Amino acid sequence: MNRRDFFLTCGALVVGPRTMWAQAPAASPADRWVQFRGSPSLTGVSLTTIAPAPKLAWAWEGGEAFDSSAAIADGVVYVGTATGELVAIGLADGQLRWRYKAGEAIGESSPTVANGLVFIGDLIGVVHAVRIADGKPAWTFQTKSEIKSSPVVVGDVLLMGSYDGTLYGLDAATGKQVWAYPTENYVHGTPCVVNGVAHFAGCDEIFHAVDVKTGKERLNTSATAYTGASVAMVNGVAYFGTFDNQVLALDLVSRKVLWRYEHPERKFPFYSSAAVVDGTVVLGGRDRMVHALDAKTGKARWTYMTRARIDSSPAIAGGRAYVGSNDGRFYAIDLATGKVVWEHDEGAAMSASPALAAGRIVIGSTAGRLLCFT
């Protein structure tokens, strides 16, 4: 190695760890919400503009519960149902475009749209790729257990976690397995992808980082507790709640927990995935509260108490957090003040997470209604 190459290599070693996770603020485009949490970094933020007091535009009757959260692309809503169907519904008119029969049921796995296909997992462990043009199957892939994680597409690789303890990398066009990354427990959360690396806090209490192309481990460190939530990531810091009743900010360079948040009185798990915007972390708790935390310090900025636990993950647009509660209500909360500025009483638990695009909000209820507000 010559002198120039030596210093270039040393320089890469010095700046590499920090720049590896550097990223621009990740928000979903105004007209699309193509996957769970809107974008691969799972920040839950949309650039769309929502009316101050949204009106119900339509409600589609799905027959049974919606635990799956919607994806929106090119004026079509895609969502999975407890009856085991993936459905495509017009965003503007609420009319069914097509329905595809997957397994016996689709749980929390939420669809992802890419390259003319929509992908989803079911509770019998099958990954489905369906053509968006006509709802016909393109391919399927069988894992060894149920799927509650949501797929993420990065280039030509589809990522999917399974309760068989594995994160799979599949060829998105053919469904052929490219690699498999094993863990010691369920892979429940959806992988958060930044700069070609997939991150998730597993049910094995380990925080994993995996190279998307090769499936090789890039990082393995303690997540401190059993974790069901997905990770949101901004500039090398991962934010997530745990079943140990805490929210963590984990610095991926130092592998150290920057802060832990725990409510001083109410000790309940966090199942909701965090949204992160402008230095604020927002998520729901099984303590019935929406929590807004300072991203640097972990100090509570505000909390809002609903009437039941919150498993829904907040979505953010225009300075408001939109989130469902198992109390049967859907809330819009002002990010600055923590005040509810609008709500809809559906009368059935809303554990799915909202999708925001084209000035509309789409969310399903456990009573089997898919709602669109504008």
Cβ-based neighbours of 106, under 8 Å, separated by 6 or more: 67, 68, 80, 81, 82, 84, 85, 86, 120, 121, 122, 123
Query: What CATH number is attached to the domain comprising 290?
Result: 2.130.10.10
The Cα 230–Cα 274 span in angstroms is 8
Amino acid at 15: V
Residue 134 lies in a domain: yes
Mean pLDDT of 237-247: 98
C-beta separation of 151 from 119 below 8 A: yes
Strand order across the beta sheet in which 315-317 lies: 315-317, 320-324, 329-334, 340-345
For 93-126, the pLDDT digits (tens) are: 999 999 999 988 999 999 999 999 999 999 999 9
Residue 252 DSSP class: T
Q: Confidence class of residue 23 from pLDDT cuts 50, 70 and 90?
A: low
Q: Is residue 3 part of a domain?
A: no
Asked whether 333 and 24 are in contact (CB, 8 A), the reply is no
Residue 117 lies in a domain: yes
Task: Say how many domains are in the chain.
Answer: 1
Least confident of 2-6, 82-86, 236-240, 259-263: 2-6
Q: Are 176 and 170 in contact (CB under 8 A)?
A: yes
8: helix, strand or coil = helix
Q: In terms of DSSP H, where are the helices of the chain?
A: 3-19
pLDDT at position 22:
61
Instruction: Judge whether residue 135 has pLDDT over 50.
Output: yes
Contact between residue 52 and residue 63 where contact means Cβ atoms under 8 Å apart: no
Inform me whether the pLDDT recorded for 45 exceeds 80.
yes
Query: Residue 209 falls within a domain, yes or no?
Result: yes
120 located within any domain: yes
Is residue 32 in some structural domain?
Answer: yes
**Rounded mean pLDDT of 67-87?**
97
Q: Which residue has the tokens 């996957």?
A: 35
Domain that holds residue 58: 25-373
pLDDT at 207 > cutoff 70: yes
The mean pLDDT of the chain is: 94
Distances (CA, A) of 232 to 161, 253, 294, 368: 16, 16, 14, 28
* Domain membership flag for residue 328: yes
> Over 60: is that where the pLDDT of 198 sits?
yes
pLDDT tens-place string over residues 136-176: 999 999 999 999 999 999 999 999 999 999 999 999 999 99
Residue 265, class by beta-carbon neighbours within 10 Å (0-12 exposed, 13-18 middle, 19+ buried)? exposed
Query: Is the sign of the CA dihedral 29, 32, 33, 34 positive or negative?
Result: negative
| Listed residue (296, 220, 294, 201) closest to 258, CA to CA | 296
Look at residue 103 in the predicted model and tell me its pLDDT. 83
1 in a domain, yes or no?
no
6-22 pLDDT, tens digit each: 333 333 333 355 556 56
Q: DSSP secondary-structure letter at 191?
A: P
